[in-house]
Amino acid sequence: MARDDSILPDPGKYLTNNLKELYADAISQLISDLGREVTLHLPPIESGCPNCKYLSVGGRGLYKYNSSNPFSGPPYNVPFADGQRCPVCRGTHIIHIPRQSTWHATIVKRPRDYDYEFYGVSPENVVLTKFLVEAWDDVNNCIRATIDGLDYERLSEPVKIGLGNNPEDLKFINVFWKRVT
């Protein structure tokens, strides 16, 4: 059956650029005023160990402390005696440097609009956060998040939201989390 839109006014008169800006400003202001810090834990970077050098001495390998280690102290600068196992990389010569970033986000505990039964989670363990779209890469890549001092993992794929259907209208990210600690 064909839809008769003739009783509707012409499209595009209400959802003006001004209104979109007003909406984006208001939500950004909410994130700034009501939001709290959320720490996103990102995959660690694998790196060569800065604390040791591998030397070939008389046909066998020797680990030696790297005195030009750019780090100034633990955990990445721990001097050790020649031939001992490097305490930083435990002799693997590879270290994993943790990364994290901090973003402001509004935090809704026990959010509505979530099918707790279907996903088998209890409401007290679920939060909904809203970030600025600038956090997109970190929200997507993070392994877990610290929210109000507790650890969470993503319960849903992040979704870009905004007023309007154009990519540039999608200025915010909604993502659900489940408590893991």
Near Zn ion by CB under 5 A, which window of 45-53, 119-127, 146-154, 169-177? 45-53
Q: 78 or 143: whose CB is closer to Zn ion?
A: 78
Cβ neighbours, 10 Å, residue 66 = 19
HEC per residue, 53-90: EEEEECCEEEEEECCCCCCCCCCCCCCCCCCCCCCCCC
99: its two tokens: 């990364």
Rule CB under 5 A: say whether 40 interacts with Zn ion. no
Among 38, 51, 107, 129, binds Zn ion (CB under 5 A): 51
How far is Cα 70 from Cα 37, in angstroms, rounded to an integer?
Answer: 30
Q: Which residues does residue 97 pair with via DSSP β-bridges, in sequence order?
A: 45
By the rule CB under 5 A, 65 interacts with Zn ion:
no
| By the rule CB under 5 A, 88 interacts with Zn ion | yes
Whether the CB-CB separation of 162 and 172 falls below 8 Å is answered with: yes
Q: How far is the CB of 52 from Zn ion (least distance, A)?
A: 3
Between 64 and 179, name the residue whose CB sits nearer to Zn ion.
Answer: 64
Member of 31, 86, 105, 142 binding Zn ion (CB under 5 A) = 86
Residue with Cβ nearer Zn ion (63 or 131):
63
| Binding residues for Zn ion (CB under 5 A) | 49, 51-52, 86, 88-89
